[in-house]
């Protein structure tokens, strides 16, 4: 019998936004952030930043990070995020934390990433709380503290960050720093799935496939795997391939199964390469 796979905890990457512009590389999208100080109408981000508007500095940093309207320059972006952060713009603190985490425009430094995520989390940037929770859970840049990681995931989830809900679901499913509770995990995965967190849809599919915390339902599992696979979760593509291979919840279709395994393998899910 082929084994259904699940995804583990994840971290939010660049996706803080100003107006309707979205930063790069986000596994899930956040609602637009309101600037801390509204720029004057018809002004440019450069002019707004020069006048002391930290939201303008943040937006200008985003432009340099993405190369939109200016030459792409990660060093300049990091400098502008730092200026915005030091001026009280929590989106700037969050994006600067991401840059320290990945060494983009600055030297990679987990300790500095933690500091900026903490600053942003304290300032109400809930996705920073979720990211900070991953650092504590993994002991990256801080002493490992799984209980604190769980609390930060809960804080992020309560604030509307779907990565926090997803990661908290993983903790409840596995019993990390909480009593194992598959039903609670299913509720959190469902919440995150509804919020467009594809890996949560995939993990919820695993629970339905196994009848863990929910009534076993292969058809429901297949639908969730398909949703997650379409959204880019390669583990879900592989799991859907398993169901097609077994004829479980879907009509048996070896050609479709093989295509899904190839898709998952090409997408970096190595377990699918062996099937």
* pLDDT one-digit tens code per residue, 168-178: 999 999 999 99
Q: How many domains does the chain have?
A: 2
- Is 172 a domain residue? no
Same domain, 158 and 211: no
Say if CB 93 and CB 125 are below 8 A apart: yes
Contacts of 230 (CB under 8 A, 6+ apart): none
Q: Indicate if the pLDDT at residue 3 is higher than 90.
A: no
pLDDT at 5: 56
Place of tokens 């969050």: 94
Q: What is the pTM of this model?
A: 0.84
**Domain C-terminal end among 136, 167, 198:** 167
Higher pLDDT pick, 144 / 17: 144
Q: Indicate if 11 and 146 belong to the same structural domain.
A: yes
Residues 221 and 161 in one domain: no
Same domain flag for 32 and 139: yes
Whether pLDDT at 63 is above 70: yes
Q: What is the pLDDT of residue 22?
A: 23
Same domain, 152 and 214: no
Domain boundary among 167, 200, 219: 167
* Residue indicated by tokens 């959190």: 188
- Range 18-37 average pLDDT: 32
Average pLDDT in the chain: 88
Asked if residues 129 and 152 have their Cβ atoms less than 8 Å apart, the reply is: yes
> Per the domain annotation, does 28 fall within a domain?
yes
Could you give the CA distance from residue 44 to residue 60 in angstroms, rounded to a whole number?
9
- Give the integer Cα–Cα distance in Å for 96 and 131: 13
173 falls within a domain: no
**CB-hemisphere CA count at 13 Å for 17?**
14
The reply to whether 109 and 232 lie within a common domain is no
Predicted local distance difference test score (pLDDT) of residue 147? 97
Q: Note whether 133 and 197 are same-domain residues.
A: no
Within-domain flag for 227:
yes
Q: What is the spatial distance between Cα 164 and Cα 150, in angstroms, rounded to a whole number? A: 9
Between helices 218-230 and 254-266, what is the axis angle to 10°?
A: 40
Predicted pLDDT at 7: 57
State the pLDDT at residue 18.
Answer: 26
pLDDT of residue 38: 47
Question: CB under 8 Å to 139, separation ≥6 — which residues?
Answer: 145
Give 29-45 pLDDT, tens digit per residue: 333 333 444 444 448 99
Single out the residue in 114, 140, 167 at which a domain terminates: 167
- Can you give the pLDDT at residue 6? 57
The pLDDT of residue 112 is 98
Q: Is residue 79 part of a domain?
A: yes
The pLDDT of residue 43 is: 81
CATH of the domain at 131: 1.25.40.10
**Residue 138 and residue 14 share a domain:** yes
Buried b vs exposed e over 193-206: b needs ≥16 C-beta within 10 Å? Answer: bebebbbbbbbbbb
Inform me whether the pLDDT recorded for 86 exceeds 70.
yes
| pLDDT (tens digit per residue) in 211-259 | 999 999 999 999 999 999 999 999 999 999 999 999 999 999 999 999 9
159 and 192 assigned to the same domain: no
pLDDT at 263 over 70: yes
For position 8, what pLDDT does the model report? 58
Q: Is pLDDT above 50 for 25?
A: no
Q: Are residues 50 and 102 in the same domain?
A: yes
Does residue 175 fall inside a structural domain? no
Could you give the angle at which helices 54-66 and 74-86 cross, rounded to 10 degrees?
160
Domain extent for 250: 181-275
Does residue 8 sit in the same domain as residue 91?
A: yes
Judgement on whether residues 197 and 265 belong to the same structural domain of the protein? yes
User: CB neighbours of 107 closer than 8 A, spacing ≥ 6?
Assistant: none
Query: Does residue 68 lie within any of the structural domains?
Result: yes
**Does residue 176 form part of some domain?**
no
Helix (H) or strand (E) holding 11: none
């Amino acid at each position: 019998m082929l084994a259904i796979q699940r995804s583990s905890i994840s971290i939010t990457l660049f996706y803080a936004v100003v107006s309707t512009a979205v930063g790069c590389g986000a596994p899930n999208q956040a609602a637009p952030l309101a600037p801390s100080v509204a720029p004057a109408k018809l002004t440019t981000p450069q002019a707004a930043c020069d006048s002391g508007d930290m939201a303008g500095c943040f937006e200008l940093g985003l432009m340099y990070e993405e190369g939109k309207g200016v030459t792409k320059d990660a060093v300049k972006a990091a400098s502008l995020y730092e200026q915005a952060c030091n001026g009280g713009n929590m989106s700037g603190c969050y994006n600067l934390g991401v840059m320290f985490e990945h060494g983009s425009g600055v030297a990679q430094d987990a300790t500095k990433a933690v500091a900026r995520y903490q600053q942003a989390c304290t300032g109400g940037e809930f996705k920073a709380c979720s990211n900070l929770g991953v650092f504590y859970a993994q002991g990256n840049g801080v002493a490992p503290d799984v209980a604190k990681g769980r609390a930060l995931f809960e804080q992020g989830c309560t604030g509307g960050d779907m990565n926090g809900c997803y990661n908290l679901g993983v903790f409840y499913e596995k019993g990390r720093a909480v009593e194992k509770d598959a039903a609670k995990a299913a509720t959190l995965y469902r919440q995150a799935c509804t919020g467009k967190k594809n890996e949560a849809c995939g993990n919820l599919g695993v629970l339905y496939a196994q009848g863990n915390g929910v009534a076993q339902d292969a058809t429901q599992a297949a639908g969730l795997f398909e949703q997650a696979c379409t959204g880019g979760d390669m583990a879900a593509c592989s799991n859907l391939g398993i169901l097609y291979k077994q004829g479980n919840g879907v009509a048996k279709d070896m050609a479709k199964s093989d295509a899904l395994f190839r898709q998952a393998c090409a997408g970096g899910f190595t377990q699918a390469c062996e099937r």
